[in-house]
Amino acid sequence: MDQENTCKVCVYRSRAFKNLTDKEMALIAINREERHFKKGEIIVEEGSKIDEFLYLQKGLVKLYNKEPHRKEHIISIAKPLDFIGLLGLFSNQKQVHSIAAIEDCTICFVKLNVIKELIRTNGNFALDFFEKISAVSDSVIKTRINIHTKQLRGRIAYILLFFAHHIYNSKSYSLPISRKEIAELIDMSTENVIRVLSEFRKDDIIEIEGKHILIKNLQRLEKIYTNG
Amino acid sequence: MDQENTCKVCVYRSRAFKNLTDKEMALIAINREERHFKKGEIIVEEGSKIDEFLYLQKGLVKLYNKEPHRKEHIISIAKPLDFIGLLGLFSNQKQVHSIAAIEDCTICFVKLNVIKELIRTNGNFALDFFEKISAVSDSVIKTRINIHTKQLRGRIAYILLFFAHHIYNSKSYSLPISRKEIAELIDMSTENVIRVLSEFRKDDIIEIEGKHILIKNLQRLEKIYTNG
DNA sequence: CGCGGCTTTGATGTTCATCAAGTAAAGTGG
DNA sequence: CCACTTTACTTGATGAACATCAAAGCCGCG
């Protein structure tokens, strides 16, 4: 199979890498690998060596930390077209976070030294790439701070709206993660995640059936979110 | 005064900007401005336009958010040789955080489009710059997560050790910020900051006299920090 | 000298985690 | 495919951690 073509026609590529010549694109093409992961599979282990840049084409993944003797902590959820991995990529030798698939997914692995070479030689690419990856880190910081200024109902509202607006673009969707994972993402106990969801159901703000969520009163949910 | 020379001989410069030619350095020199701020002065207002890159030469500054109707929230404290401002610089049009001096300080303002031009034209500079600024963001994320896994005593221990190890390099120092600002930095109430400090004093871990801190039992403090 | 902000301590109440206990769902091996 | 085990989910009760309220002393500053 002609890998260069595979890469050039990739519908995702244009969104990810701007300002590249055909020749540069070909360089990426021969230094990339597309891999598939099943829901639940671990993609990157914390502490392993960094030598590839990951680009999510399809599915959802979570970035998380697992410290010994502590429960896991989810840092963020990435959706298709997102760059995976924060800036640690450029300031560390080893992976700072683990990454796992929370839906079946397709990921493009590009050799990091190729990316670095392109940054070195193509200034416009460098600037654009920098801009994109920095937006990711910036948003993680903002979200972290935001969440901790809110109490439990506000945090659950955040999560419900996050999936509705940011991931599924619908008021009706199926949660890709467990209650426990929600708890790890917004720093609360699993029991309280369930409790607040039940409250929202009783207050007729949402419908729940297992993993399936339907937002019945969006306005009210947004009010809970903004009022903390 | 010959600004190029001023810049070339600047003791801070070499640490900040690597891989620049004399000519490129001169470009920075004529597009920079050194400014002084008194303790308490606001350096950057949230929401203002970004057109300069800030480099802290002397003193300490705080990065913070002030949302209406909420108390301020401090994101990080920067020390000399630190790049100020997170990645928002490259992904936003407007400042995302405010910056204020918590000690008298000297800051070098460099036109952002000059930095961008250098990133575009000098690949090695780009990579090095990228690495440095990403380390800052990375550390902010880590610290945020870290702090929220700890309870109050662990957070105060963090702050005391932060100033001891990271800023003053001494077990004896004068706190540059108020109890209220400590509270805003590690997300707790001002009263509890004071309470925990008093506890530490009673337990003979530290001595306090106004803003002055002396760490008497470093080992114990570090244990409190790691055990959360 | 008096006012406002910072600091301190105590008392009170709320939010939340933890514990316990039970049900449902989803893997696993014979 | 069914018994078995484990993991996810759910609700209630309890207690701990923490914020908030209140009141008073302190300090710097106009």
* Strands A42-44 and A98-101, bridge-based pairing: antiparallel
Strand D: which residues have Cβ below 7 Å from it?
A: A 178-180, 190-191, 194-195, 197-198, 208, 210-211; B 151-153, 187-189, 191-192
Same domain, B123 and B185: no
- Please report, rounded to whole angstroms, the spatial distance between the CA atom of protein residue B108 and the C1' atom of nucleotide D12: 60
From B110, B140, B170, the end of a domain falls on: B140
Residues 63-82 of B with CB under 8 A from A: 65, 67, 70, 73, 75
From A120, A144, A168, the end of a domain falls on: A144
Sort B28 into a burial class: Cβ within 10 Å, 0-12 / 13-18 / 19+.
buried
pLDDT at A68: 67
- Please report, rounded to whole angstroms, the spatial distance between the CA atom of protein residue B191 and the C1' atom of nucleotide D5: 49
pLDDT at A5: 52
Whether residue A145 and residue B149 make contact (CB cut-off 8 A), yes or no, is: no
Q: Which helix (H) or strand (E) holds A83?
A: strand A83-84
pLDDT at B13: 65
From B140, B169, B186, the end of a domain falls on: B140
Whether residue B91 and residue A132 make contact (CB cut-off 8 A), yes or no, is: yes
Same domain, B98 and B22: yes
Inter-residue contact A52 to A112 (CB < 8 Å): yes
φ/ψ (deg, to 5) at A116: -60, -40
| Token pair recorded at residue B76 | 């990080």
pLDDT at B2: 46
Q: What is the total count of domains within chain B?
A: 2
Residues 84-103 of A with CB under 8 A from B: 86-92, 96
Cα A106 from Cα B139, distance rounded (Å): 29
- Number of other CB atoms surrounding residue A141 within 10 Å: 21
Same domain, A30 and A13: yes
Low-confidence spans in chain B with pLDDT less than 70: 1-9, 11-16, 68-69, 87
Q: Identify all chain B residues contacting A226, using CB atoms and an 8 Å cutoff.
A: none
Q: Profile chain A (228 residues) by mean pLDDT over runs of 10 residues.
A: 57 72 87 91 90 91 83 91 78 89 92 92 92 87 92 96 96 95 96 96 94 96 92
Q: Is the CB of residue A97 inside 7 Å of nucleic acid strand C? A: no
DSSP E strand boundaries for B121-220: 172-174, 206-209, 212-215
Same domain, B103 and B13: yes
**Preferred mutation among A64, A83, A124, A137 to probe B, highest tally of B CBs within 10 A:** A137
Same domain, A35 and A93: yes
Same domain, A16 and A118: yes
| Token pair recorded at residue B158 | 């963090």
Q: Identify all chain A residues contacting B143, using CB atoms and an 8 Å cutoff.
A: none
Whose CA is closest to A129, among A144, A140, A114?
A114
Cα B145 from Cα B224, distance rounded (Å): 17
| Token pair recorded at residue A104 | 């079946």
| Token pair recorded at residue B227 | 């055990």
pLDDT at B117: 93
- Do the domain assignments include residue B145? no
Whether residue A87 and residue B132 make contact (CB cut-off 8 A), yes or no, is: no
Whether residue B141 and residue A75 make contact (CB cut-off 8 A), yes or no, is: yes
Instruction: Provide the 3-class DSSP secondary structure of residue A187.
Output: coil
Per the document, the length of chain A is 228
- Please report, rounded to whole angstroms, the spatial distance between the CA atom of protein residue B210 and the C1' atom of nucleotide C7: 9
pLDDT at A2: 47
Q: For B66-78, what is each residue's pLDDT tens digit?
A: 876 677 899 999 9
Q: Identify all chain A residues contacting B187, using CB atoms and an 8 Å cutoff.
A: 148
Inter-residue contact A46 to A52 (CB < 8 Å): no
DSSP E strand boundaries for chain A: 32-37, 42-44, 52-58, 61-65, 73-78, 83-84, 98-101, 105-111, 172-174, 206-209, 212-215
Same domain, B68 and B120: yes
Whether chain B has a CB inside 8 Å of the CB on A142: the answer is yes
Q: Identify all chain A residues contacting B96, using CB atoms and an 8 Å cutoff.
A: 138, 142
- Please report, rounded to whole angstroms, the spatial distance between the CA atom of protein residue A174 and the C1' atom of nucleotide D2: 30
Cα A171 from Cα A160, distance rounded (Å): 9
Range of the domain at B179: 150-227
Sign, CA dihedral A114-A118-A119-A125, equals negative
| Residue B145 CA: distances (Å) to CA of A104, A141, B52, B155 | 28, 10, 29, 12
Whose CA is closest to B24, among B96, B164, B126, B137?
B126
Out of B120, B124, B138, name the one closest to residue A87 (CB): B138
Out of A120, A127, A145, name the one closest to residue B75 (CB): A145
Inter-residue contact B228 to B151 (CB < 8 Å): yes
Same domain, A135 and A154: no
Sort A56 into a burial class: Cβ within 10 Å, 0-12 / 13-18 / 19+.
buried
Inter-residue contact B174 to B54 (CB < 8 Å): no
Q: For B20-48, what is each residue's pLDDT tens digit?
A: 888 888 888 889 999 999 999 999 988 89
Minimal C-alpha gap between A70 and chain B (Å): 9
pLDDT at B8: 63
- Please report, rounded to whole angstroms, the spatial distance between the CA atom of protein residue A151 and the C1' atom of nucleotide C15: 9
- Please report, rounded to whole angstroms, the spatial distance between the CA atom of protein residue B213 and the C1' atom of nucleotide C17: 33
Same domain, B67 and B16: yes
- Which residue type sits at A71? K
Same domain, A105 and A169: no
Same domain, B43 and B109: yes
Whether chain B has a CB inside 8 Å of the CB on A108: the answer is no
Helix (DSSP H) and strand (DSSP E) numbers for chain B: 10, 11
Inter-residue contact A155 to A227 (CB < 8 Å): no
Q: For residue B135, give the CATH number of its domain.
A: 2.60.120.10
Cα A95 from Cα A48, distance rounded (Å): 6
pTM: 0.90
- Do the domain assignments include residue B163? yes
Same domain, A41 and A115: yes
Q: For residue B156, give the CATH number of its domain.
A: 1.10.10.10
pLDDT at A25: 87
Q: Is the CB of residue B194 inside 7 Å of nucleic acid strand C? A: yes
Interface contacts A/B by beta carbons within 8 Å? 109
pLDDT at A90: 82
- Helix axis angle for B190-202 and B152-161, nearest 10°, is 80
